[in-house]
Amino acid sequence: MQESPPDADSEVHLPVAKDHVYHCVCGHEYAVEAQRGGQCPFCFRRVSGEALQDAYEATVSLTSLQSSARDCEVELSPVDAMTDQVFGHFKLDKQLGQGGMGAVYRALDTSLQRYVAVKVMRKKGDDFSKRVDDMLREAVAQARLNHPNVVTIYYVGRQEEEPFLAMELLPGPTLAERIRRQGAIPYPEAIEYCIQVASALRHATIFDLIHADIKPANLIFAGEGRVKISDFGLARMQKIDASQGNALAGTPAYVAPELLRGGAYSIQSDMYALGVTLFEMVFARLPIELKGESLQAKLDSLLASEIAFPNPWPAALPREFKTLLQRLLARNPEDRYSNYDKLLEALREIAPVSTTPAGFAPRLMAYSVDQMCLLAAMAPFAISIFSIQASRIDSRQLLIPILAFASLIVPALYLFLIYRGWPSLGRYLFQLRIVEEHGLPPRREQLVPREVLRNAFAWFFPLALYISLQSVSISKGIEYSLIAVLGLNSIALFLLGRRKALHDYLCHSNVVLAINKSHSRT
């Protein structure tokens, strides 16, 4: 099996610093402040701090920069045989990394006066021609894709006998480096990155492409909260013809079981690799440990071992996440998702929604609106009952129970709408959403008891009035119980640290602002 180089061929990134050296469009370099920007002393063109952030360091020099401790540490070779050489209109500056297929350099695009990453192939070995073909295939495959989560290819060419390609220069680090340095990635963040990668892979299928080497080392950070796929050197066409063959290549831990058994590459094999990557992001380890000294022994262990899920399952992670991982990491490709649309739908269903807690004011207003609406809806029944009671007509003993029973239509209809996923009027007006403890939309069975407890006053206060017609003592007991519930709610909201209402504690729910993406109408 051919293993992809772990770091150098595609993971192109720069450290971020507080002060930068900016390469102006006029060709001169000068110091700028990351937040305020600066002005070129030669052509007097200004650059804003916002423009520097948007450029993702593409025109920022590494000269004299000191990266902060929290940023990726990049080993730059101060002297290199290729330094200052010109490949087409790209002048090589500093080496960013190297691997089995060559080296990657930070280079200046002299035509557009910006920094790019240039991958240069080294002519060595009997398989040089094949490696050149791999590199050209990578360039062509990536250049065909126009997606915000795919590294952009700018140029492909040859300098004498050495082929090279120029690509987008990203701030980095790679996901692999971040996991190695910081450990597990928070669940909401990991799901968002997985959605981005799945979206990019879906876009690739439009061009009949399979990446065939998805792993954290090939996913590069491109600014805050965004990753990009790089290294399409092993990309395959979905419909493999006889000329392509079915040679196995990739990184062992991320290779789908069917490929080890001689099966064909497919979108499901990329899904398996994405599942391994997602597992690694959340748990900072691989789902199956590679065992054995030889490569063949490690591959055999992949086929023989079961997925090592955490036991017990972490309380901070939803059970639905385990179900998704089990499907992505299924042994048989038929058991995985049939297409990326279904995978994206499943990912979005378990992606936490807004985690911004709602304040007291909008929650109080929403609660007041809901209580008034429910009481107003039940008012006609109450008025009718008291009117009949006051009239002392002979049939009142029969009519009052009938009307009291009919009034149950109001809570029944309200709970039915909640069960169907509709928000209450108060939550709709004040843009609030109910989520479960993991930030996911709550189950319907979870919402109904929550609403019964939340609206206890609206349900039981009219009941107390009806019962008072027959038994004042029982009515008083219900009223005192309602006062106790309201008191406990106040204690839970204002005195306990989490500031959740009693019904939220009992039903494991939270009230958040209805911003960002929405899974349902709750």
pLDDT of the residue at 406: 82
Do 431 and 514 contact (CB within 8 A), yes or no? yes
- What pLDDT does residue 475 have? 67
Per-residue pLDDT at 388? 78
Contact yes or no for 302/255 (Cβ under 8 A): yes
The low-confidence residues of the chain, meaning pLDDT below 70, are 1-20, 23, 25-27, 34-35, 45, 48-80, 99-101, 122-128, 130-131, 134-135, 137-138, 141, 233-250, 292, 354-355, 392-396, 461-466, 468-472, 475, 494-498, 515-522
CA distance 367 to 297: 62
Residues 174-201 have pLDDT tens digits of: 999 999 999 999 999 999 999 999 999 9
Residues 103, 278, 199, 10, Cα dihedral to 10°: 0
CATH assignment, 175-349: 1.10.510.10
pLDDT tens, position by position, 118-157: 888 766 656 667 667 766 766 776 777 889 999 888 888 8
CATH superfamily assigned to domain 19-167: Phosphorylase Kinase; domain 1 (3.30.200.20)
pLDDT at position 444: 78
Question: Coil, helix or strand for 33?
Answer: strand
pLDDT score of 267: 93
Its pTM stands at 0.68
Q: What is the pLDDT at residue 153?
A: 86
What was the pLDDT predicted at 200? 94
What is the structure's pLDDT at 177? 92
Any idea where the domains of the chain sit in the sequence? 19-167, 175-349, 360-513
Which residue is listed with tokens 């001169």?
A: 28
Judge whether 235 and 212 are in contact, CB under 8 Å: yes
